[in-house]
Structure 1
Amino acid sequence: MLEKKIKVLICDDHDIVCQGLVNIVSDEPDMEIVGCATNLDSALTLIKKLNPDVVLADIRLGDESGFDLIKQSCQAGFEIPFIMITGFHNEFYLSKAIENGAAGLLSKESPGRVIVNSIRLTFDGHSVWPMELLKNTYDSLAISHYSSTTSIDTAMAIPNFTPREKEIIKFLLKGNTNKAIAHELGLSDVTVKKSLKNIMNKLHVDNRMKLAMVISRLSLE
């Protein structure tokens, strides 16, 4: 029995970029292109119609933003990993991608193997970020997340996690996906997802990347 292919949607306002990405992804036996969009409205329409597994979206979609596409997709009830692609590879766009809940950021000059491996990783629940930019962005976001309300020392006080939530956090720190955590703990995917939402609420974060930044500073001993 053939395994289900990863359904990929591409969103870019430049036809030549769309075609280049189509050529790269179409060569992979475990992936299929389900559509290409050149603006936010058409991208959202295709997301609702096709329910892709992963979306590759340009940060700039003409006069619109790929980040707005993430927001509107979430508002429509779709929890899809978005990999943002850009010709402007810098810490500003990395921080914006993290803040808006993207699953990764790639340069348009990334080799094909990097692009397809990133699709596989995000499909499996991981995030993909350029390591050369991540350290400074990680530190600045972690500090700014708390500085507006309280000191870092105060913010690092551990909330009252349940035993199950503590177990899930420990697996998160090891880089496990939701499916892997569910398997290890004998839980359903829905239960793990619900527990993660509770953990994020307790830590006052709104996406998985921010959650990873915060829990990496916690001691659950």
Structure 2
Amino acid sequence: MPVTKPKFTRETRQKIKILLADDHRAFREGLSRILGEEEGLEIVAVAGDGEEAVRLASELQPDVAILDVAMPGLSGIEAIKHVKAKSPETAIIVLSAYDYESYVLPSMEAGASAYLLKTVGVSEIARAVRAVHDGQTVLGPTASRRLLSRIAGAGGRVLPDGASQHLHQREMEVLRLGAAGLSNREIAVKLVIGERTVQTHFRNILRKLGVSSRTEAVLRGLRAGWITLDDLP
């Protein structure tokens, strides 16, 4: 599909640039049109399969890529890995019709920052775009439970039992709420603290765990057993 590169005016530079990839033409064109009407968002390209998504991500370096997990040819999970390799700053949202455990965990491990079902509304997708662009991890309630169930069933720990001692109680609370899919603002309201304080807690969590993203921190917390189904709202 030919791609017309947008003219980058002062207005467009302030918008979040989005790449959308889905193998169902009607769905991707409809979502592209509606999502592009959201304030502060701009669809810079659409792709019909994983290989095209990787090529466009490499060429355009979008802020956010929205990918289907089940696409012909290069799978969505493999596409996530390639997109992150060619455009490391691109935050990835998986938008799928499926909430299978075999999709959720591999997607997050591959580098996705969010996993949403296609049943969510456009406004929720727009919120997720803004959230991952700000460095947050977003999991819908069903995806959160699938992820926890998969990790619990796999067993084992990737961190020593005493690793959690490096995190303060408040940091553990922030990490658990982040795993449940709450935004910085929602965490701040729930814990009655400032939003900037939440951001500081997340920076400290990443540093202490030796990871570079909230997604990695959440996955480590899940695998280490610090986060359970009981932590979900």
Q: Do they fold alike, i.e. is TM over 0.5?
A: yes
- Is 1:78 matched up with 2:88? yes
- Is 1:16 matched up with 2:21? no
Q: State the one-letter code of the partner of 1:48.
A: S
Q: Deviations over 1:54-79 (max 9, x none)?
A: 11101122132111111112333513
For residues 87 and 34 of structure 2, the distance between their equivalents in structure 1, rounded to whole angstroms, comes to: 29
CA contact (8 A) 2:99 2:146 kept: no
CA contact (8 A) 1:12 1:18 kept: yes
Q: Secondary structure of the equivalent of 1:42?
A: helix
Alignment of 1:33-72 (within 5 A): 33-72=43-82
Shift in Å, 1:90: 3.2
Shift in Å, 1:198: 6.7
Query: Could you list the runs of 5+ residues in structure 1 that have no partner in the other structure?
Result: 186-191
Q: Deviations over 1:26-47 (max 9, x none)?
A: 1112100010111222212211
Report the identity percentage.
Answer: 23
Q: State the one-letter code of the partner of 1:76.
A: K
Q: How many residues align?
A: 200
Match of 1:188 in 2: none
Q: State the one-letter code of the partner of 1:68.
A: E
Q: State the one-letter code of the partner of 2:216.
A: N
- Is 1:157 matched up with 2:162? yes
Shift in Å, 1:209: 3.2
- Is 1:209 matched up with 2:209? no
Q: State the one-letter code of the partner of 2:220.
A: L
TM-score (norm 1): 0.71
TM-score (norm 2): 0.68
Alignment of 1:131-146 (within 5 A): 131-141=141-151, 144=154, 146=156
Q: Deviations over 1:125-165 (max 9, x none)?
A: 22221213423531431563626x7xxxx83222795xxx8
CA contact (8 A) 2:151 2:223 kept: no
For residues 98 and 37 of structure 1, the distance between their equivalents in structure 2, rounded to whole angstroms, comes to: 21
CA contact (8 A) 1:59 1:85 kept: yes
For residues 30 and 37 of structure 1, the distance between their equivalents in structure 2, rounded to whole angstroms, comes to: 21
Q: Which moved more, 1:90-99 or 1:37-46?
A: 90-99
CA contact (8 A) 1:146 1:155 kept: no
For residues 19 and 160 of structure 1, the distance between their equivalents in structure 2, rounded to whole angstroms, comes to: 49
For residues 182 and 113 of structure 1, the distance between their equivalents in structure 2, rounded to whole angstroms, comes to: 24
Match of 1:101 in 2: 111
Shift in Å, 1:215: 7.3
Alignment of 1:112-191 (within 5 A): 112-141=122-151, 144=154, 146=156, 155-158=160-163, 173=175, 175=178, 180=196, 184=200
In the superposition, relative to structure 1, how do residues 136 and 36 fare at CA in structure 2: closer, same or farther (>3 Å)? closer
Shift in Å, 1:87: 1.8
Q: State the one-letter code of the partner of 1:17.
A: F
CA contact (8 A) 2:104 2:146 kept: no
In the superposition, relative to structure 1, how do residues 101 and 142 fare at CA in structure 2: closer, same or farther (>3 Å)? farther
In the superposition, relative to structure 1, how do residues 180 and 216 fare at CA in structure 2: closer, same or farther (>3 Å)? farther
CA contact (8 A) 1:101 1:209 kept: no
CA RMSD of aligned residues (A): 3.7
For residues 145 and 48 of structure 1, the distance between their equivalents in structure 2, rounded to whole angstroms, comes to: 36
